[in-house]
């Protein structure tokens, strides 16, 4: 191979564009994300070219998507979401607790406590790797499990929703493009992302822009949207960045561990779907939006799916954000309590695991 991987980022965008275009032509859901993701994985797995991530590409994609998600928030929508806070709390809690299935499965097949725990938590990959590092987990396995979970959800959920459940109930968000407001929001979103990153908060390039756009949209009742094509660019950049985490070595590394992770992810998705069905019948809220909000995927990916399928983006985002907060604030204290309990009662630990 004549070029080092670090010099191949220029080709990453081209491969991602080709994959996104082909996916859009065959009618795949979320085509510019899923198509670019799959195209880059195939090139990295089937050819010698180890395409590298576009410098700053994923951050830029999250910045675009964060602004787009934030603009879906309006005073009426925020009021609706606030009135269902109890439901959002319960839904996010159920998704978080469903990770017990993955922990149990990995423990039964020989993984140590820290690796099983932080591999199964439905939080961000970077955050779970950091928490795992502080608690003695095998970091390569935690990173692999978290990446594979997001990959499985991104590939499966949009397709299942589109082909099995239809397009859902259309949520009106017919805002026009206001270049004046966007000229103010976009740079402020970058400033907030940098501040969020400096404070070492999770997903700064998604949450910072989302917060700025949502505050502006709600505070001034803007009813505006991003220009046509912006969402597709964000999808392409995020999908291209995700694809660069996978290669032949990834899939060959501990295949039984990856297989158990996939099984645990599938079980978590089934639990989330069953819980969403129950909550929907109790509240009469849209089943599709609830189910999507409770899926153990990434916030940007699930919110994009909601936007593409015309579901309630704010409700899905609120459920995803609440779940992430649960995991970030409770995962480490719960693990340390569990570890202390099992260390105090080693005989019970052997029987339980």
In the structure, what pLDDT confidence band is assigned to residue 285 with cuts at 50, 70 and 90?
A: confident
- What is the CATH classification number for the domain harbouring 268? 1.20.1530
Best CA proximity match to 158, nearest among 146, 168, 169:
168
Best CA proximity match to 97, nearest among 351, 280, 323:
323
User: Does the pLDDT value for residue 350 go beyond 60?
Assistant: no
CA contacts within 13 A on the Cβ side of 262: 12
Q: Which domain holds residue 282?
A: 5-352
In the structure, what pLDDT confidence band is assigned to residue 23 with cuts at 50, 70 and 90?
A: very high
Best CA proximity match to 57, nearest among 107, 93, 14:
14
Please give the pLDDT value at position 352. 44
In the structure, what pLDDT confidence band is assigned to residue 120 with cuts at 50, 70 and 90?
A: very high
User: What three-state secondary structure class fits 214?
Assistant: helix
Please give the pLDDT value at position 124. 77
Q: How many helices (H) and strands (E) does the chain have?
A: 18, 0
User: Does the pLDDT value for residue 171 go beyond 50?
Assistant: no
pTM of the model: 0.85
Best CA proximity match to 146, nearest among 170, 120, 179:
120
Mean pLDDT computed over 28-54: 91
Question: CA torsion angle for 322, 326, 329, 330 (degrees, to 10)?
Answer: 170
Residue 176 has phi, psi (to 5 degrees) of -90, 170
Please give the pLDDT value at position 8. 72
Q: Which residues contact 284 (CB under 8 A, 6 or more apart)?
A: none
pLDDT in tens, 28-38: 888 999 999 99
Say how far apart CA 296 and CA 206 lie, in whole Å: 17
Task: Tokens 């961000």: give the residue.
Answer: 124
Calculate the CA 310 to chain-centre distance: 18
Best CA proximity match to 135, nearest among 106, 115, 120:
115
User: Does the pLDDT value for residue 265 go beyond 90?
Assistant: yes
Calculate the CA 260 to chain-centre distance: 20
User: Does the pLDDT value for residue 2 go beyond 80?
Assistant: no
Mean pLDDT computed over 227-252: 91
DSSP 8-state secondary structure symbol assigned to residue 6? G
User: Does the pLDDT value for residue 349 go beyond 60?
Assistant: no
Q: How far apart are the first and last CA of the chain?
A: 47
In the structure, what pLDDT confidence band is assigned to residue 309 with cuts at 50, 70 and 90?
A: confident
pLDDT in tens, 180-216: 999 999 999 999 999 999 998 888 999 999 999 999 9
In the structure, what pLDDT confidence band is assigned to residue 170 with cuts at 50, 70 and 90?
A: very low
Say how far apart CA 95 and CA 102 lie, in whole Å: 12
User: Does the pLDDT value for residue 156 go beyond 70?
Assistant: yes
pLDDT in tens, 59-107: 999 999 999 999 999 898 888 888 889 989 999 999 899 999 999 999 9
Chain mean pLDDT for the chain:
87
In the structure, what pLDDT confidence band is assigned to residue 347 with cuts at 50, 70 and 90?
A: low
Evaluated on CA atoms 205, 332, 272, 34, the torsion sign reads: positive
User: Does the pLDDT value for residue 173 go beyond 60?
Assistant: no
Per the structure, how many domains does the chain have? 1
Mean pLDDT computed over 260-284: 92
DSSP 8-state secondary structure symbol assigned to residue 109? T
Mean pLDDT computed over 334-342: 87
Please give the pLDDT value at position 195. 96
């Amino acid at each position: 191979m004549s070029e080092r991987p670090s010099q191949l980022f220029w080709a990453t965008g081209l491969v991602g564009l080709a994959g996104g275009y082909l996916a859009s032509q065959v009618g795949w859901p979320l085509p510019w994300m899923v198509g670019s993701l799959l195209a880059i994985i195939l090139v990295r797995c089937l050819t010698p070219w180890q395409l590298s991530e576009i410098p700053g590409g994923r951050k830029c994609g999250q910045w675009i998507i964060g602004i787009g998600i934030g603009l879906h928030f309006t005073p009426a929508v925020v009021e609706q979401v606030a009135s269902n806070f109890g439901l959002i709390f319960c839904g996010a809690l159920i998704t978080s607790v469903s990770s017990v299935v993955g922990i149990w499965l990995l423990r039964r097949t020989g993984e140590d406590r820290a690796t099983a725990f932080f591999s199964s938590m439905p939080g961000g990959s970077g955050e779970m790797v950091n928490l795992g590092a502080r608690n003695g987990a095998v970091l390569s396995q935690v990173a692999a499990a978290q990446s594979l979970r997001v990959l499985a959800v991104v590939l499966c959920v949009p397709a299942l929703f589109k082909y099995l459940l239809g397009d859902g109930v259309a949520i009106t968000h017919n805002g026009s493009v206001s270049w004046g407001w966007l000229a103010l929001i976009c740079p402020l979103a970058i400033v907030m992302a940098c501040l969020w990153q400096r404070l070492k908060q999770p997903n700064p390039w998604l949450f910072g822009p989302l917060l700025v756009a949502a505050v502006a949209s709600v505070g001034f009742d803007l009813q505006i949207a991003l220009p046509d094509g912006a969402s597709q660019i964000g999808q392409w950049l995020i999908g291209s960045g995700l694809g660069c985490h996978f290669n032949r070595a990834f899939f060959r590394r501990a295949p039984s561990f990856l297989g158990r992770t996939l099984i645990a992810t599938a079980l978590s998705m089934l639990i989330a779907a069953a819980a969403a069905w129950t909550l929907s019948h109790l509240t009469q809220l849209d089943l599709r939006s609830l189910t999507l909000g409770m899926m153990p995927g990434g916030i940007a990916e699930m919110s994009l799916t909601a936007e593409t399928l015309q579901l309630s983006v704010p409700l899905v985002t609120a459920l995803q954000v609440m779940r992430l907060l649960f995991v970030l604030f409770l995962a480490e204290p719960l693990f340390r309590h569990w570890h202390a309990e099992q260390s105090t009662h080693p005989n019970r630990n052997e029987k339980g695991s």
